[in-house]
Amino acid sequence: MNWPCGGQRGLRSGLFPAPARRPPCANLRADMNRRQTLGLMGTLLAGLIAPRLARATTARAVALGDLVRRSTRIAHATPLEGSSRFEDIGDTRHIVTYTRLRVEDPIFGDTGETEILVRTLGGHVGELGEIVHGEAQLALNESCVVFLRANADGIEQVTEMAQGHYPLLADSGGALRLQASRNMPRLVGNPGAAVAQLANLRLPDARALILGVKR
């Protein structure tokens, strides 16, 4: 994990809005020496200055193969908390939200982290809200299968926004099934679209399908 407080190796500096509780960060802060902290801040500064990413509302439907190939990590995870702030995306200022997720099952790209930090577009800062239609919304406590892509700064984002986010819902028999994201962008048709293949699949079947595509 390359971003503050993203996982077991993470650390959060005072630059970022503090979540309500963050035991891994509290423990780690004591372990960091000054040089490491300064190095990290340098990286953060470079990251803040460098132009960055994303959002959508009408999109081409992404094939499952492309979605898997474009992702650096795929996981069954549960969002625990989110925190929003302003960031420059490309040449424009936007509100983004960093969500901390507990990894329930690292389907692909396992780095041993039990928690990950994911950035999505939109959120609330003070009285100002911003919504980007088509972006994934990692709803608190709603477990999901999420396809993630790390950018050049190491920040993980949902691959193809809502097309890479599948909330899990228990069926009448108690089996978890993947659902299409609520904020799905309007999709230009594609018979092999990931959402068409994954929506309503049982979690173990979806896992097997994803890993099959990955191979």
Partner 1 sequence: MKALPLGAALSAAVLCLSVSAHGFAYCLTRTCDPETMQCELDSTRTCIVSGKTLFWPNSCVSYDVQKDGSQKLNISYDALHTVVVDAFQKWLDADCGNGTHPSIRVADYGAVTCAKPEYNKDQPNANIITFHDQSPWPHPNAVDTLALTTVFFNGDSGEIYDANVEINSAEDSFAVGDAKGTQVDLNAVLTHEIGHFLGLSHSAFSDATMYSSYMPGMTTLEQDDVTGICLSLPPNRVPLGSECTPRHGFSTECGQPKTGCCATAVGSTGSQSQTLGLFAFALGLTAWRGRLRLRRSARAPRR
CB atoms near residue 201 (< 10 Å): 19
- Residue 186 near residue 174, CB atoms below 8 Å: no
Is there binding between residue 183 and partner 1 (CB under 8 A)? yes
The total number of residues shown for the chain amounts to 215
At 94 the three-state DSSP class reads strand
CB atoms near residue 159 (< 10 Å): 24
Give the tokens for residue 12.
């959060």
Is there binding between residue 78 and partner 1 (CB under 8 A)? no
Is there binding between residue 134 and partner 1 (CB under 8 A)? yes
Contact stretch for partner 1 (CB under 8 A) within 3-11, 84-92, 102-110, 170-178: 84-92
Is there binding between residue 131 and partner 1 (CB under 8 A)? yes
Residues 13-42 vs partner 1: string with x where CB under 8 A? Answer: xxx------------------x--xx--x-
Nearer to partner 1, 24 or 82 (CB): 82
Is there binding between residue 92 and partner 1 (CB under 8 A)? yes
At 203 the three-state DSSP class reads helix
Q: Which one of residues 8, 27, 58, 114 is an interface residue with partner 1 (CB under 8 A)? A: 58
Nearer to partner 1, 102 or 215 (CB): 102
- Residue 135 near residue 53, CB atoms below 8 Å: no
Report the relative pairing of strands 186-188 and 58-60 from DSSP bridges: parallel
Contact stretch for partner 1 (CB under 8 A) within 1-9, 107-115, 151-159, 201-209: 151-159
